[in-house]
Amino acid sequence: MNWARALNEKLSAGKAAQFVCRQESIAPLVPFGSLCEVSHFDKRTLKLGDVVLCRVASHHKLCQISFVLGHRVEVTNGAGDQKWAIKMSQVTARLRILEEPLVACGM
């Protein structure tokens, strides 16, 4: 996952990273073509519904938080049909949509 590697390099340097979402797996939570930013955050502020960059089964993925219990969280893919129980330490950054893509009306 080269896109995740580039994001993690910036995050490791203490910087936020911006990118255009080209991952269909997180739709409809993040519309395809959205300008997004991932950045470090206070993990005590993590809440249900947040979209985060996390490490799942040795891969970095954009996932939605579906459950938080102490240092354990459950994350799902955009469709909600895949779930993973992970440690809070596997959550790398929180995603924020800066700009959603324009929608063509097709006229």
For the stretch 13-46, pLDDT in tens is 999 999 998 877 788 889 889 999 999 999 999 9
CA angle 16, 50, 35 (to 5 degrees): 45
Name the CATH topology of 2-99: Umud Fragment, subunit A (2.10.109)
pTM of the entire predicted model: 0.86
Residue % of the chain over a pLDDT of 90:
58
User: Residue for token digits 């470090």?
Assistant: 40
Q: What's the confidence (pLDDT) of residue 98?
A: 96
Interatomic CA distance for residues 73 and 47, integer angstroms: 10
- Tell me what the mean pLDDT of segment 38-65 comes to: 92
Q: Where are the domains of the chain?
A: 2-99
Cα distances (angstroms) measured from residue 60 to each of 4, 13, 63, 103, 106: 6, 17, 9, 29, 35
- What single letter denotes the amino acid at residue 96? R
Give me the pLDDT at residue 1, please: 53
